[in-house]
Amino acid sequence: MIVSPATRSQQTRPVPVRRCGRSGLHLPAVSLALRRHNNAWGHADTLLRQAVEAGITHVEIASPSGEPAATEELRNALHPVRLRREELTVSLRVGIGTPGPLPGFGSRQRILSTLDAALHRTGLDFIDVLYAHRFDPTTPPDETVQALAWAVQQGKALYVGLSGFAPAMLRKFLPLMEAQGTPVVVVQVDYSLLDRWAEEGTFGLLEHYGVGCVATNPLAGGDLAITMPVGLDNLRAREALTSVRHQLTRAAAARQQTLPQMAVSWALKEPRITSVTVEATSPEELEEFCAASHTTHFDAEEKTVLNTICQRVDEAAW
């Protein structure tokens, strides 16, 4: 991989730290998500060590299944975390996508049993940020809220977060959590150059409540990655995406960045974003993301160009 001059000049600088809303929690501008791809964690432990040395002190883990091999792999990957536990922030999402059936994913039973299983299987004593992932319409909000508060009261989690909640649900849950004495400190939202719905009310709502924001999916599901994504059967959609990618790649090159780098830098230009969560597959890719955290300024001309490229297109084209 060719590393740009901008990347090389920033490699030795630690990732900046940002305050999470009005809380005392501070997170690095870039966070690392550990995901189990292709039935193996691969070199996750090596990447995690590199991340910590670069100042990425926040890692999001996936709740492991009950498979012994998967559990052992995750335990091994988290060895650097256990060695430096007081320096690192670990977050966990419970809800959709975690082990167990879909019905009742926001219930007290599912939230607390998933948390207990994760602690047992990872060897961690507590989770720093426990996210409820997605609103469960089959569970009363009070039940979900009370379960999250109970996890904090028991010392199994230190902070509570919400992930993938629409603004209407945030307006319901944020005051409910405050009433429990366990306010939400951070909300996860999908946010990228190609997915900007959070600008339409969510950021302002979080700012009003003093809640931090972690941007997930900054590469838009791979649409802003180096390699062209697969699976687009619609010819018109593929042509539209190809055109956008070419234009964005040229804009990134003008900034001496790769397309993924610019995508991360662009998300971090928003001051209400506390951190951007990335999935790195190699040391070189992780270095690029770290460097992007130092290049978050976009001048007026660059913003105009990017807004023009990424303007909303007819849904049929995608």
How does DSSP assign 97-162, residue by residue? Answer: TSSS-STTTTSHHHHHHHHHHHHHHHT-S-EEEEEEES--TTS-HHHHHHHHHHHHHTTSEEEEEE
Is residue 123 scored above 50 in pLDDT? yes
pLDDT digits (tens, 9 = 90+) for 304-317: 999 999 875 433 34
Is residue 198 scored above 60 in pLDDT? yes
**Domains delineated in the chain:** 5-221+268-295 (3.20.20.100)
Query: What amino acid occupies position 208?
Result: H
The pair phi, psi for residue 158, each rounded to 5°, is -100, -35
Mean pLDDT of 32-45: 66
Q: Which pTM does this prediction carry?
A: 0.89
For residue 188, give the H/E element and its range: strand 184-190
Q: How far apart are CA 134 and CA 106, in angstroms?
A: 8
Which has more pLDDT, 298 or 312? 298
How does DSSP assign 257-293, residue by residue? Answer: --HHHHHHHHHHTSTT--EEEE--SSHHHHHHHHHHT
pLDDT score at 317: 42
pLDDT score at 235: 63
Mean pLDDT of 20-38: 88
> Using 50, 70 and 90 to split pLDDT, how confident is the model at 40?
very low
- Is 184 buried (19+), middle (13-18) or exposed (0-12) by CB count in 10 A? buried
- Please tell me whether residue 18 adopts helix, strand or coil conformation: strand
What the block records as the tokens of 292 is: 């992007």
Mean pLDDT of the chain: 88
Classify the C-alpha dihedral 260-193-291-293 as positive or negative.
negative
pLDDT score at 204: 96
Which has more pLDDT, 236 or 215? 215
* Listed residue (184, 194, 181) closest to 163, CA to CA: 184
Is residue 102 scored above 80 in pLDDT? no
> Using 50, 70 and 90 to split pLDDT, how confident is the model at 233?
low
The pairing of strands 184-190 and 58-61 is unpaired
Is residue 108 scored above 60 in pLDDT? yes
pLDDT score at 315: 39
